[in-house]
Amino acid sequence: MRALSSRSAYTILAILLVVMLLGGSLTMMLLESFEGGEPALRDFNNAFTFMLQNVAGVGLGAKVPLTFGGRLASIFFVLAGAALRALLIAAIVSGFVNRLLARGKGVKRVNSKDHVIICGWNSRVPQMVEVLRREAFGAGVPVVILAQLPENPMMNEPIRFVSGDTAHAKDLERAGVEAARAAIVVTDESDHEPHMDSTYDARAVLTVLAIKAANPNLHVVAQMRDPRNRDHFERARADEIIASAEMSEGLLARAALNVGIASAFGMLLRLDTPQEMYIIDTPPALEGKTFQAALVHQQMREGSILVGIMEGGQTILCPPSEYKLHSNMRLIVLGNVRPKIDH
């Protein structure tokens, strides 16, 4: 199957077809040049049409040979043409099947651009893919999963899969790390074996280091198991670090003191609710405005709520009302749809 779909197989079949057409045409001209032969087949154009008819298996109205040698040769060419047609069809089908198998096995290089690479695999990855595919985050964003798995774990989803080591430069290259828009480094449970939190985090740190070495400008979000390893992720230059333990423990403590706070956070984190937090560039109309004026503007024009800003790598929630906005600042907005910034 693989031999038929190789480039050399296509080349050999093409050469055999050309040789059969040209050689068969000359053979028919020679055999029909004898006494009693078909006069029309003594012309190369007619002989070529006859051969093309035999090889293609389509009736073209060509004259048939009259000599015994010509008829015997025509039988040979008809059988040979049928065999070549069968091999050609098998090669095409084989190539198609092998491409599908290769896609599922993750051995091909990804040629996408502006895609998101998910490095590693665990049971929560399908939820991440669902979020990435939602309209709120930009429907149609290509997703590539790079993990040490034997085949695509989400075969029925429109994603690309690369089987490989998330900390290996060549595997990251096959996943299109140089052309990606972001990378998510998750706790890798692809080996289905239990490990200590420090082992999971060490693997994630190595992956972040490999990604930054391949593409220093790529935005990398890393999942961290043990908050005590935050310094290692920061030294590896992870742009954002998500510590599940910190979030869950903090939410539990707050829920004990603020009744209903867990429900409010759940509205933001669940996949079946429309509310989302967005980070947007400061609209030109809000440059120079105070935070309070911008808050009213967003509520009146977009129906969204301005809750904070990002400036100089720092995040400030609920800044003072007189805080002035400028073009180098990004806004944190809560809403049901992504706000427009062309106003």
Give the C-alpha separation, 55 to 51, whole Å: 6
The pTM of this model reads 0.64
SS3 of residue 243 by DSSP: strand
Please give the residue that has the higher pLDDT: either 137 or 194: 194
In Å, what is the CA distance from 234 to each residue of 28, 36, 196, 230?
78, 91, 20, 6
Percent of the chain with pLDDT over 70: 88
Mean local confidence (pLDDT), 76-89 = 79
Give the C-alpha separation, 94 to 6, whole Å: 9
- Sequence-separated (6 or more) residues with CB below 8 Å from residue 343: 283, 284, 285, 301
SS3 of residue 290 by DSSP: strand
Mean local confidence (pLDDT), 135-158 = 80
List the one residue out of 315, 307, 313, 311 whose CA is nearest residue 333: 307
Phi and psi torsions of 146, nearest 5°: -110, 115
Percent of the chain with pLDDT over 90: 34
Q: List, in sequence order, every beta strand (DSSP E) within the chain.
A: 116-119, 143-147, 160-163, 182-185, 219-224, 240-243, 276-281, 305-311, 314-317, 330-335
Give the C-alpha separation, 179 to 116, whole Å: 10
Domains of the chain (ranges, CATH numbers): 7-105 (1.10.287.70), 116-247 (3.40.50.720), 274-343 (3.30.70.1450)
pLDDT tier, 343 (very low <50, low <70, confident <90, very high otherwise): very low
- Sequence-separated (6 or more) residues with CB below 8 Å from residue 95: 4, 5
Phi and psi torsions of 25, nearest 5°: -65, -45
pLDDT given at position 341 = 58
Mean local confidence (pLDDT), 56-69 = 76
List the one residue out of 294, 318, 296 whose CA is nearest residue 307: 318
pLDDT over 70 (residue 73): yes
Mean local confidence (pLDDT), 278-303 = 89
pLDDT given at position 320 = 92
What is the DSSP-derived secondary structure letter of residue 279? Answer: E
pLDDT tier, 1 (very low <50, low <70, confident <90, very high otherwise): very low
pLDDT over 70 (residue 118): yes
In Å, what is the CA distance from 21 to each residue of 25, 52, 191, 250, 277?
6, 7, 56, 78, 67
